[in-house]
Amino acid sequence: MTTAVSFRPRDLVVNEDGTGHLVGSRCPTCGAHYFPTRQVCAGCLTEDLETIPLPTTGTLYTYTVVHRSTPAFETPYVLGYVDLPGPVRVMGQIDAEPDDVEIGMTVELEIVPWGTDEEGTPLLGYRFAPGGER
């Protein structure tokens, strides 16, 4: 059996135990956080940004239920913007029924199967599920 791998290794690290985290940049000078990673800080133009694991628990800023998408995605699904400590905002699908989703709720990153690549290798992606400790 082929081991599953991250769908976007630059953005998402998956550990052997099935946990994982998103990958961002942190500016050592002004403290700004970025996702995806950047080469230079947009705030102070510092060039030596640190690549860091982003926190896995955050707050839902807003969301929608998507009914029409590209062929790669089965609809409907809940999509949201999550503010992680940093602070930094990331987009992800929300693993919940639409009626159970509300702005301001606490959500936690989860690693989930994400189809396969062109060679049939299983991929892992991420979603956010309600719950988690802030």
Among 10, 18, 19, 30, binds Zn ion (CB under 5 A): 30
Pairing of strands 5-6, 122-130: parallel
Binders in 33-72 for another protein, by CB under 8 A: 33-36, 38, 41-43, 61-72
CB 78 within 8 A of CB 98: yes
Instruction: Verify binding: residue 20, another protein, rule CB under 8 A.
Output: no
CB 86 within 8 A of CB 37: no
Among 4, 5, 11, 105, binds another protein (CB under 8 A): 11
Among 6, 49, 54, 93, binds another protein (CB under 8 A): 93
Instruction: Verify binding: residue 41, Zn ion, rule CB under 5 A.
Output: yes
Among 21, 56, 109, 125, binds another protein (CB under 8 A): 125
Q: From start to end of the chain, where are the E strands?
A: 5-6, 12-14, 20-26, 33-34, 50-53, 57-66, 77-84, 88-94, 106-116, 122-130
Rounded CA gap, 122 and 134, in Å?
31
The residue ranges that bind another protein (CB under 8 A) are: 7-8, 11, 30, 32-36, 38, 41-43, 61-73, 77, 79-81, 83, 86-89, 91-93, 98, 103, 125-126
